[in-house]
């Protein structure tokens, strides 16, 4: 696993438990390390266990936290439909339970949620990294997750292993996600322009999100930075976790505002 170039420290104790989030029992994992907190927000159709390679890479330097949103991972579902705004409500409640502002790294749906949280509660966000995120639902080129795809098989297997709702709920879980993706998110360039926290927009060069849309997101958020990782897809944190960790840590550690040798956008 990727090292941040520091002397190896004893691994901090991690508390994995269920906490009450807006009246719903929610699985969480929060390190007790005395350091800046990084909350990792998993993507759709999966739970936090798909994001642990990145989290493990950051754990030597940061207090790493995860939680499984309603209906995902080890957190049970409810009859209500999925919406990004309600997922942001959950995230805000978890951040408030951690106490103080945290860094956020959001992948796919987690990135979309991170954008909403940054707009609604900038006081809870130190810096935000979004990976494979989109602010308009029409800009998804396709996920390519047919039944024979190994990622589809992994997500299905992990759902069956982890979900308190049992295998019979899987079809409803997928359908609720598809319904949300067909209508959300619906953010605007004007919405993005209100984000006041430092943001890094990251994607693979073969991402499921239209790259022109990713660039529009970057150009619409004041002071944002952009990282397009070559030879990677929407599964970037699974494909190249060490690269993600290196870029994320550099962003979290750097002095802001960033200065470049030949500034154009940052004049």
Q: Cα–Cα distance between 103 and 83 in angstroms, integer?
A: 23
Convert the pLDDT of each residue in 140-179 to its tens digit.
Answer: 997 666 777 788 888 899 999 999 999 999 999 999 999 9
Mean pLDDT of 98-117: 96
* Better-predicted residue by pLDDT, 21 or 265: 21
SS percent in the chain: helix, strand, coil, step 5? 40, 20, 40
User: 17: which strand partners?
Assistant: 28
Say whether pLDDT at 186 is over 80.
Answer: yes
CB 202 within 8 A of CB 129: yes
**Lowest-confidence pick of 9-13, 40-44, 226-230, 255-259:** 9-13
Q: Is there a cis peptide before residue 257, judged by omega within 30 degrees of 0?
A: yes
Mean pLDDT of 184-190: 98
> Tokens representing 5?
């170039």
Q: What is the pTM of this model?
A: 0.93
Strand order in the sheet with 63-67: 14-21, 24-31, 63-67, 37-41, 102-107, 125-131, 199-206, 225-233
Mean pLDDT of 240-253: 98
Q: Which domains does the chain have, with CATH numbers?
A: 14-252 (3.40.50.1820)
Q: Cα–Cα distance between 223 and 233 in angstroms, integer?
A: 25
Instruction: pLDDT band for 192, please (50, 70, 90 cuts).
Output: very high
DSSP state of 72: S
Q: Is there a cis peptide before residue 185, judged by omega within 30 degrees of 0?
A: yes
Convert the pLDDT of each residue in 46-97 to its tens digit.
Answer: 999 999 999 999 999 999 999 999 999 999 999 999 999 999 999 999 999 9
Say whether pLDDT at 212 is over 50.
Answer: yes
Mean pLDDT of 243-255: 98
Strands 63-67 and 102-107: unpaired
CB 64 within 8 A of CB 40: yes
Q: What is the pLDDT of residue 207?
A: 96
Element at 69 (helix H, strand E): none
> Tokens representing 96?
């408030």
Mean pLDDT of the chain: 93
> Tokens representing 260?
């470049």
CB 241 within 8 A of CB 57: yes
């Amino acid at each position: 696993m990727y090292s941040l170039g520091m002397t190896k420290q004893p691994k901090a104790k991690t508390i994995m438990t269920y906490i009450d989030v807006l009246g719903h029992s929610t699985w969480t994992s929060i390190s007790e390390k005395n350091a800046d907190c990084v909350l990792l927000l998993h993507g759709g159709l999966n739970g936090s266990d798909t994001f642990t390679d990145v989290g493990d890479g950051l754990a030597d330097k940061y207090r790493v936290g995860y939680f499984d949103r309603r209906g995902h991972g080890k957190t049970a579902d409810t009859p209500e439909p999925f919406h990004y705004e309600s997922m942001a409500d959950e995230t805000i409640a978890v951040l408030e339970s951690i106490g103080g502002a945290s860094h956020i790294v959001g992948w796919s749906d987690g990135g979309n949620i991170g954008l909403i949280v940054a707009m609604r509660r900038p006081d809870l966000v130190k810096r935000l990294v979004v990976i494979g995120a989109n602010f308009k639902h029409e800009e998804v080129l396709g996920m390519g997750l047919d039944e024979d795809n190994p990622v589809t098989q992994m997500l299905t297997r992990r759902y069956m292993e982890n979900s308190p709702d049992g295998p019979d709920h899987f079809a409803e879980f997928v359908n609720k996600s598809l319904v949300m993706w067909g209508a959300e998110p619906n953010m605007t360039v004007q919405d993005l322009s209100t984000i006041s926290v430092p943001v890094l927009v990251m994607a693979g060069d073969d991402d499921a999100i239209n790259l022109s849309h990713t660039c529009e997101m970057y150009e619409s958020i004041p002071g944002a930075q952009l990282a397009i990782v070559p030879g990677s897809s929407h599964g970037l944190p699974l494909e190249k976790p060490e690269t993600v960790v290196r870029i994320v840590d550099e962003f979290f550690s750097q002095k802001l505002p960033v200065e470049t040798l030949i500034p154009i956008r940052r004049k």
